[in-house]
Amino acid sequence: MTPQDNLNLHLAESKAKNFLDSTFAAYMDDKDPLKALRDEFVIPTRGEIAPGADRPDEPCTYFCGNSLGLLPKAVARYVAEELQVWGEGAVNSHFKHRFGRPWVRIEETVQEQSARVVGAKKDEVAIMNTLTSNLHTLLAAFYTPTQDRHKILIESKAFPSDHYAVESQIRWHQRDPKESLICQEPRQGETLLRTEDILETIEKHGHEISVVCFSGIQFYTGQYFEMEKITKAAQAKGCIVGWDLAHAAGNVPVQLHDWNVDFACWCSYKYLNSGPGGIAGIFVHERHATNFDRNRLAGWWGHDKATRFDMVNEFKPIAGAAGFQHSNPSVLTTSALLGSLSVFEKTTMKDMRAKSFLLTGYLYHLLTTEFSTDVLEIITPTDPEQRGAQLSLVFKRGKMMDIFEGLAKKAIIGDERKPDVIRVAPTPLYSRFEDVRLFVVTLKELVNEFY
């Protein structure tokens, strides 16, 4: 049964007049098996988000988890505990910790939960640094260009930081990005990348490609790439395959181990809700766990734990992803991630995906039935399997900023990407069907005002 078929069935059960009827949204929210998780988050009020908005004490409509997730209530407790321990124990808290989380092993408190989110084994994951730093770390190890195989394949509209990182890695090896960087372009007149075109590029150029490095979900369009298929095709041509999961981790159920991905990295402040600038994560497949001949950027936190504090200047890397760590991780940001992951422990990625299919499917249906294509166009894939929570809306006739600012004044938060896109992402942990309905009702009012 497709998400739309499911919605049609629920419409009949709800006895609502149509999908925009508040009765339908209330019915769906009441039946939502994840509805209790919304109470795990601090949701800003309308008055806090938009001073002067009507109904100021009601929660705002927050569709910006693709940029920054909301604050889990548990984060305050975990961070406060670390501040308490710091105050009481100071340096001793590295080894003796009132709450059983000695700082010398703080990253281990979030390792297993993070591995479950990205479909990995525990030792294939390390929590460390921030996203672009981790991408550099991984490329330093896995991008080993030769005279014949020196190219990196990325999507043409990769997130700028990824593009900068890849270009700088190519230059680091004294090569010219004009010769060593392949940017996969969509077909003329199209916005999305077709899997068959990516596979064709791999087939044609695979013998000269060192690394294929795509985003799991494209930040601008919201396209969820066929990761398993692309990974398999690239590895068959002898390429290393890495993925930036910034918009995928905590959003869609990936299976990094089973898909045989070589490496991956992600941030934790979007769908993982760990807070602005939160600590990030890496994945290194267990096939590479003990390949200590592969060069890497080394640091003492990647050294064998048993002898780390012996201060011997002979690097002995830990097997697995942990061997790529540099410095001791931030205790406060790791604890914030622990607080967020405590919410994920109350559900599964499978159940979150099931709700996301319905929630974003509901939004997609309303947008395509309530608005004409000369007002807005959805550039995110129609197929629910090829998208996550996010829909990217192109507003025609130069009206995007008018619409965006109008929504903000009504305490409805998405984000804009110039020149004409508003991204909206109803996330299954805290978004409601009523939020979707209110967004569309308000958007109709704004369209009537500005078009």
Q: Is 300 annotated as a binding residue?
A: yes
Q: Is 309 annotated as a binding residue?
A: no
Q: Is 328 annotated as a binding residue?
A: yes
Distance CA 8, CA 43 (A): 30
> Tokens 């098996």 appear where?
33
pLDDT attached to residue 250: 98
Confidence of residue 127 (pLDDT cuts 50, 70, 90): very high
Confidence of residue 275 (pLDDT cuts 50, 70, 90): very high
Confidence of residue 335 (pLDDT cuts 50, 70, 90): very high
Distance CA 16, CA 11 (A): 6
pLDDT attached to residue 9: 87
Give the SS3 label for residue 240.
strand
Question: Sign (positive/negative) of CA torsion 113, 118, 121, 126?
Answer: negative
- The phi and psi torsions of 279 (rounded to 5 degrees) equal -65, 150
Q: Which residues contact 148 (CB under 8 A, 6 or more apart)?
A: 207, 208
pLDDT attached to residue 4: 86
Q: Is 215 annotated as a binding residue?
A: yes
- Percent over 90 (pLDDT), the chain: 96
* Nearest Cα residue to 359 out of 15, 18, 29, 61: 29
Confidence of residue 8 (pLDDT cuts 50, 70, 90): confident
Q: Is 61 annotated as a binding residue?
A: no
Task: Using the predicted structure, report yes or no on whether residue 314 has a pLDDT greater than 90.
Answer: yes
Task: Using the predicted structure, report yes or no on whether residue 201 has a pLDDT greater than 90.
Answer: yes
pLDDT digit string (tens) for 74-85?
Answer: 999 999 999 999
The CA–CA distances, whole Å, from 81 to 76, 218, 332, 390 equal 9, 37, 10, 34
pLDDT attached to residue 15: 86
pLDDT digit string (tens) for 167-192?
Answer: 999 999 999 999 999 999 999 999 99
Average pLDDT of span 290-311: 95
Strand partners, 243: 214, 264
> Tokens 């195989």 appear where?
149
Confidence of residue 7 (pLDDT cuts 50, 70, 90): confident
Q: Is 10 annotated as a binding residue?
A: no
Task: Using the predicted structure, report yes or no on whether residue 1 has a pLDDT greater than 80.
Answer: no
Q: Is 159 annotated as a binding residue?
A: yes
pLDDT digit string (tens) for 88-123?
Answer: 999 999 999 999 999 999 999 999 999 999 999 999
The CA–CA distances, whole Å, from 372 to 277, 377, 378, 381, 386 equal 38, 8, 11, 18, 23
Distance CA 143, CA 137 (A): 10
DSSP-derived letter for residue 215 is E
pLDDT attached to residue 329: 97
Strand partners, 151: 209
- Percent over 70 (pLDDT), the chain: 100
Residue type present at position 431:
S
Structure tokens at 60: 């705002």
Confidence of residue 208 (pLDDT cuts 50, 70, 90): very high
Distance CA 184, CA 196 (A): 12
19 CB-contact burial (10 Å; exposed 0-12 / middle 13-18 / buried 19+): buried
Q: Is 225 annotated as a binding residue?
A: no
Q: Is 221 annotated as a binding residue?
A: no
Q: Is 181 annotated as a binding residue?
A: no
Average pLDDT of span 31-47: 98
Q: Is 131 annotated as a binding residue?
A: yes
Query: Please, are residues 357 and 383 in contact by the beta-carbon 8 Å criterion?
Result: no
Q: Is 160 annotated as a binding residue?
A: yes
> Tokens 């020196």 appear where?
150
Mean pLDDT rounded to a whole number for the chain: 97
Please calculate the CA angle 356-222-232 and round it to the nearest 5 degrees.
95
pLDDT attached to residue 124: 98
pLDDT attached to residue 5: 86
Q: Which residues contact 259 (CB under 8 A, 6 or more apart)?
A: 119, 227, 228, 231, 232
Q: Which residues contact 186 (CB under 8 A, 6 or more apart)?
A: 156, 192, 193, 194, 197
Distance CA 155, CA 213 (A): 8
Longest dimension (CA), the chain: 73
pLDDT digit string (tens) for 377-417?
Answer: 999 999 999 999 999 999 999 999 999 999 999 999 999 99
Distance CA 411, CA 99 (A): 39
Task: Using the predicted structure, report yes or no on whether residue 16 has a pLDDT greater than 90.
Answer: no
